[in-house]
Amino acid sequence: MPEQSATNLVLVLNGPNLNLLGTREPEIYGATTLDDIGAMLVAEGDRLGLIVDMRQSNHEGHLVDWLHEAAGRGACAVILNAGAYTHTSVALRDAIKAISVPVIEVHLSNPAARESFRHRSHVSPVAKGVIQGFGAKGYALALDAAAAMRQGDL
């Protein structure tokens, strides 16, 4: 496991209902559980020299607190799947804007190809970039992007 330094910490934050991953609606969100994704990211983090700290909450304020925590701990990136709060939360947008840690927005599905209420993201305008529609693999792509940003390659 890599040693934690000031800049190799990546927080991976997951919003409401994502604790249900792999148990319901596999046709939309896939069969992989959030624990599977967490284990995959820790292993991938080892390879990339990154410490991965993954969490999930059904409560908007927890996600806001964790964004502040990422800044306080000097994280090099946050990977954020804000779930349905993506489409509703000005508080999350403000929190992302308030910190200098780059936030990579991830979605398992492609919200742009779904219902119109999923087309607006409050996160995208303040995110460094967005990865959506590639299922669980999107989280690995985001971690790769975090590593590349840290190296100055992105």
Query: Any catalytic annotation for residue 29?
Result: yes
Q: How far is the CB of 26 from ligand CA2 (least distance, A)?
A: 8
- For position 21 contacting ligand CA2 by CB under 6 A, the verdict is yes
| Rounded Cα distance, 42 and 74, in Å | 18
Angle formed at CA 35 by CA 29 and CA 41, multiple of 5 degrees: 90
| Rounded Cα distance, 65 and 67, in Å | 5
- For position 35 contacting ligand CA2 by CB under 6 A, the verdict is no
Task: Measure Cα distances from 73 to 55, 85, 129 in Å.
Answer: 15, 24, 22
Query: Any catalytic annotation for residue 139?
Result: no
- Considering only the stretches 17-25, 44-52, 123-131, 141-149, report the one whose residues sit in contact with ligand CA2 under the rule CB under 6 A: 17-25
SS3 130: strand
- For position 118 contacting ligand CA2 by CB under 6 A, the verdict is yes
Q: How far is the CB of 93 from ligand CA2 (least distance, A)?
A: 15
SS3 133: coil
Number of residues in contact with ligand CA2 under rule CB under 6 A: 16
Which spans of this chain sit near ligand CA2 (rule: CB under 6 A)? Answer: 17-18, 20-21, 24-25, 29, 81, 83-84, 86, 107-109, 111, 118
